Amino acid sequence: MSSRKLWLCLCLSLCLPGVTAACDSQTDARNADGEAIVNFFQQSGKRVLTFVGFSGAGYEDESRPLAIALDILGGFDPSMTIVNIGATPEGIGALYELAKRRGFVTTGIVSSQAKRYQVALSECVDFVFYVEDDSWGGLQKDSGELSPTSAAMVGISDSMIGIGGGEIARDELRAALPRGKDVRFFSAEMNHRKAREKARAKGLPAPMNFQGAAAEAFGK
């Protein structure tokens, strides 16, 4: 189905009562390269508001990203804005439900690694784009350039909001600044238990700082 037809179907669904009361719409997920993703968002005619942060690492205070996002979303018109995140439900992905309940179209851009490892998608995301990528995102070690997934994420965004986050979020937010994107960052701690368990599994000392790489880069 073409992007134009998909947008028509989505617009019709938004006219039905109760659509913003629950995440009951079927997710359209497809493989896409950077050009196809750009075309999709350009055809929408909407601004793209992207949230990045901790995903699998979770948040120590789960209410913090929700409160921040609620305030941010209040400054955007759902009829003129797409809320974009990383497609999965954990951590920052919890904002999908909040966005849907406020009437926003939701999208997700995620590495093909998510499909390879059968990572679950949020039930509240309308469109998901799998980007062929050897990594999960961030800067590529060999070239220092953004990976295909992160390049797509930054490229289609008009505004990028960071709420905590690790190296991938840090790299994307840094890359967005010289591109003239509206970038805002809010500190938040990753889930302490998960961080300790991850360190233990790798044979590393227990972490003492739970702010994440993004906070270190943005000085907050």
Q: Does some domain include residue 56?
A: yes
The two structure tokens encoding residue 48:
């793209």
Q: Does some domain include residue 2?
A: no
Q: Does some domain include residue 69?
A: yes
> What is the dihedral sign for C-alpha 145, 150, 152, 157?
negative
Q: What is the CATH number of the domain that holds 75?
A: 3.40.50.450
Q: In 3-state terms, what secondary structure has residue 161? A: strand
The two structure tokens encoding residue 12:
């019709």
The domain tally of the chain equals 1
Q: Does some domain include residue 17?
A: no
Q: Does some domain include residue 105?
A: yes
Q: Does some domain include residue 83?
A: yes
Q: Does some domain include residue 7?
A: no
Write down the residue that tokens 């880069």 correspond to: 217
Q: Does some domain include residue 188?
A: yes
Residue-range definition of the domain harbouring residue 86 = 23-218
Count other Cβ atoms within 10 Å, centred on residue 58: 19
The two structure tokens encoding residue 206:
């227990």
Confidence band of 24 (pLDDT split at 50, 70, 90): confident
Taking a C-beta distance cutoff of 8 angstroms, is the pair 130, 33 a contact? Answer: no
Confidence band of 26 (pLDDT split at 50, 70, 90): confident
pLDDT (tens digit per residue) in 148-159: 999 999 999 999
Give bridge partners of residue 161 from the DSSP assignment: 51, 184
pLDDT (tens digit per residue) in 93-118: 999 999 999 999 999 999 999 999 99
